[in-house]
Amino acid sequence: MNFIPLDADAKETIVNYMKKTDSRSCDMCFATYYVWRDTFHTAYAIVEDNLVMKSETDSWLSFVFPIGDGDKVKAIRQLKAYANGRGRKLVIDNVYREQEEWLQEHFPGEFLISYNRDLADYIYDCEKLKTLSGRKYHGKKNHVNQFNKAYNWTYEAITDENREECFAMLDEWAEKKGELNARQRGELKISECYLREMDFLEQKGGLIRVDGKIVALAIGEKHNSDTFVVHIEKALKEYRGAYAIINQQFLVHEAGDCLYVNREDDTGDQGLRTAKLSYKPLYLLEKGYAMERKEPSC
C-alpha cells in the first residue's frame, strides 16, 4: 500500500473524493488536512477506489474511514493488514454514527467504537447567526449593538492588499495573550497557515477595522451544498463585542445562501465550549474512532 505525503499536488485528488460525501464535518475539508499535515505527518492512498488518509506519530497510527464509492470492506481489510504488519491495531478516525452502524454490520464485534466530546463539530442555523433574532440570541444582539455604539467600525474582505496587516493583528493577539500554551501556539500556527494559503485553499476571509485598525478576522469556506465552515476566528478582546461582530458580519458577507454553519470543535477548552454553546447550536456532529479489539497476530 503506497501512502503519499500530503502536499499541494494532492489537492485535486482529495477534493474530488471528499465531494462524494456531502458531509457537514470540517474533517471532510481538504484545507483541514493541509494545514495540519506537518503536525500529524498526514499521507494518503487510494485503496479499492476509496481515499484513505493516514496520520502517524511516534506513538499513534490511524486512518480516516475510507471515502469514496469503492469496496470499503476490502479497503478496511487492507488497512488492517497494513497496521497489523507494523505491530499495531487498526484504528479508524472520524467515525460518525452512520459509519458506526456500517462497521457493526460488516465487521460485527471486531471494533470498539468511542466518541470524543472534545472533537464534536458545532452546527448552527446560518440565518440565526446572521440576524441574531429571537429571545435566545438577545445577549448576542446586545453585544453587537454595544459594539455598534462604542466604535467606528467597518467590514472588509481579506485581500492581498491587507493580508500583512492581518498577520500583524495575529502577532498582537499572541503578544497580548502572554506566554502561549501548547494549544494557543497551535492555534496561532494554523491561523497563520490559513491566512498565508488562503488563495490556494480557496478560503474566504473577512476583517473588522475600528478607526482603521484591524481588531478581528475570520477565515472559512463554503464546504458542501448547504454548509459554510468557519475555520479561524480571532479578535482583540479589549474591543468589547469584537468576537460577536466578526462572527455575525463574516457570515452576512461571505456565507451566501448556506443553511448551516460549522464552527468546528472546542478541543475540550472550557472557555471555548461555553462560548460556542452560547450561540445555541442545532446539534453537535459527533466524531469518534474505531479500534480493533484483537491484538495483531504479528
Is 271 inside any structural domain? no
Question: Which pLDDT belongs to residue 199?
Answer: 97
Rounded to the nearest integer, the mean pLDDT of the chain is: 95
Is the pLDDT at 26 greater than 80? The verdict is yes
| DSSP state, residue 58 | S
Q: Are residues 195 and 239 in the same domain?
A: yes
Q: Are residues 94 and 142 in the same domain?
A: no
Q: Are residues 98 and 139 in the same domain?
A: no
More confident residue, 79 or 224: 79
Q: Are residues 114 and 210 in the same domain?
A: no
Is 48 inside any structural domain? yes
Domain range for 89 is: 4-120+286-292
Q: Are residues 146 and 252 in the same domain?
A: yes
Q: Are residues 93 and 67 in the same domain?
A: yes
Query: 3-state SS string over 80-93?
Result: HHHHHCCCCCCEEE
Q: Identify the H or E element spanning 32.
A: helix 30-40
Is 154 inside any structural domain? yes
Query: How confident is the model over 82-98, as a mean pLDDT?
Result: 94
Grid coordinates standing for 1?
A: 500500500
Question: Do 298 and 84 touch, CB atoms closer than 8 A?
Answer: yes
Tens-digit pLDDT profile for residues 32-46: 999 999 999 999 999
294 pLDDT band, cuts 50/70/90, is confident
Percentage of the chain lying above the pLDDT 70 cut: 99
Q: Are residues 95 and 220 in the same domain?
A: no
Q: Are residues 133 and 213 in the same domain?
A: yes
Q: Are residues 111 and 130 in the same domain?
A: no
Cα 164 to Cα 168: distance, rounded to the nearest angstrom: 6
Is the pLDDT at 297 greater than 70? The verdict is no
Question: Which pLDDT belongs to residue 251?
Answer: 98
Q: What's the CATH code of the domain at 222?
A: 3.40.630.30
Question: Do 24 and 121 touch, CB atoms closer than 8 A?
Answer: yes
